[in-house]
């Protein structure tokens, strides 16, 4: 729609910075959206995936100070990717966040994910409403899935109460069909396996694959 985009404009610089955050931070790509503060004029939220975190704050009113704000960001000093202003996190909270009128702030802490070894399969499980203290894992016939040994089950990451997701790198079992089940683990309690027979999942010889499933209880 435009012949060119002036790279010297503030809008270009902001879009360029935000695109880099999206590209480099797994929390933006895959993390769970969590509201940290919500008022009539101010909204603070963050997304987290493993050790990666991205926190964003928006203020549509007059300049103000908000807080304290709990956060998954590691303790220390973080700089806004839009303005380079410094924000201090201590004991996993921001004591006071200064926002200008009609202001935006983005803090990004990205931990690169390891490179795939063999074929990387992303398992997604929907349809089981997990409760506090419950965790979801995937187990199966392949050595990469523990060969049905519960102690070697691969844990998935929490995305929201009905969605868990995780990556498994297949080397020995790449190019084969493996049997797979999901299991819910509880602190101090018995695990719950899916009631149905194991799924048969084909693992491509190389590259990446996504397997999205629903809990079969």
Domain map of the chain by residue range? 10-109, 119-214
pLDDT at 71: 96
Q: For 166-210, how does the pLDDT look when each residue is reduced to its tens digit (9 = 90+)?
A: 999 999 999 999 999 999 999 888 999 999 899 999 999 999 999
Q: pTM for this one?
A: 0.69
Nearest to 70 by CA among 48, 95, 43, 42: 95
3-state helix, strand, coil in the chain (%, to 5): 15, 45, 40
pLDDT at 31: 83
For 119-214, CATH number?
2.60.40.10
CATH superfamily of 10-109: Golgi alpha-mannosidase II (2.60.40.1180)
Q: For 92-119, how does the pLDDT look when each residue is reduced to its tens digit (9 = 90+)?
A: 999 999 999 999 999 999 988 888 889 9
Give me the torsion for CA of 134, 139, 145, 146, rounded to 10°.
90
Would the CATH topology of 10-109 be identical to that of 119-214?
yes
- Using DSSP's 3-state secondary structure scheme, residue 26 falls into helix
């Amino acid at each position: 729609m435009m012949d060119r985009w002036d790279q010297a404009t503030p809008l270009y610089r902001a879009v360029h910075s935000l695109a880099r955050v999206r590209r480099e931070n797994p929390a933006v790509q895959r993390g769970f959206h969590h509201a940290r503060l919500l008022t009539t004029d101010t909204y603070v939220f963050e997304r987290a995936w493993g050790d990666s975190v991205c926190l964003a704050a928006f203020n549509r009113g007059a300049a103000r100070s908000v807080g304290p704000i709990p956060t998954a960001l590691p303790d220390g000093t973080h700089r806004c990717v839009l303005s380079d202003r410094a924000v201090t996190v201590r004991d996993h909270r921001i004591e006071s966040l200064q926002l200008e009128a009609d202001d935006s702030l983005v803090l990004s802490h990205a931990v690169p994910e390891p490179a795939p070894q063999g074929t990387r399969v992303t398992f997604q499980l929907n349809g089981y409403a997990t409760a506090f203290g419950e965790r979801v894992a995937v187990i199966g016939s392949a050595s990469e899935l523990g060969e049905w040994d519960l102690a070697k089950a691969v844990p998935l990451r929490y995305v929201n109460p009905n969605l868990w997701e995780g990556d498994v790198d297949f080397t020995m079992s790449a190019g084969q069909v493996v049997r797979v089940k999901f299991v819910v683990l509880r602190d101090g309690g018995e695990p719950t396996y899916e009631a149905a027979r194991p799924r048969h999942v084909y693992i491509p010889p190389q590259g990446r694959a996504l397997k999205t499933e629903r809990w079969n209880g």
